[in-house]
Amino acid sequence: MATREIAGKTVQVNEEGFMTDPSLWTKEIAVELAQEEGISNLTPDHWKIIEYCRQTAAASGSAPTLRNITNNAGVSTKELFSLFPKGPAKKVARISGLKKPEGCV
């Protein structure tokens, strides 16, 4: 496992850059990871999805899939792709400090 500094905090990440310990995640880390993913400003709509994903992962032990997010977070697939372009479930999981969702390539 590699370590890296994100928003002034040293965290472990896997080979794809996903944090391995979600308890070390902070909103400042989310902002920096979002910028790395090409999202310059996290809006209230972004935060709603991020918070949903973190709550779901805390309860289930894994990051939610695209279908789970669109069925349960009050956002359409089109809106999710607009907020997190090009692989939204994977992108929101990384920004949320979670592991890659199952089924994502």
According to the model, what pLDDT value does residue 11 have? 96
Tokens coding 101:
């969702």
According to the model, what pLDDT value does residue 104 have? 62
Active site residues: 104
According to the model, what pLDDT value does residue 88 have? 95
Would you write out the chain's pLDDT as a tens digit for each of its 105 residues?
799 999 999 999 999 999 999 999 999 999 999 999 999 999 999 999 999 999 999 999 999 999 999 999 999 999 999 999 999 999 999 999 999 887 665
Residue ranges of domains in the chain: 2-95
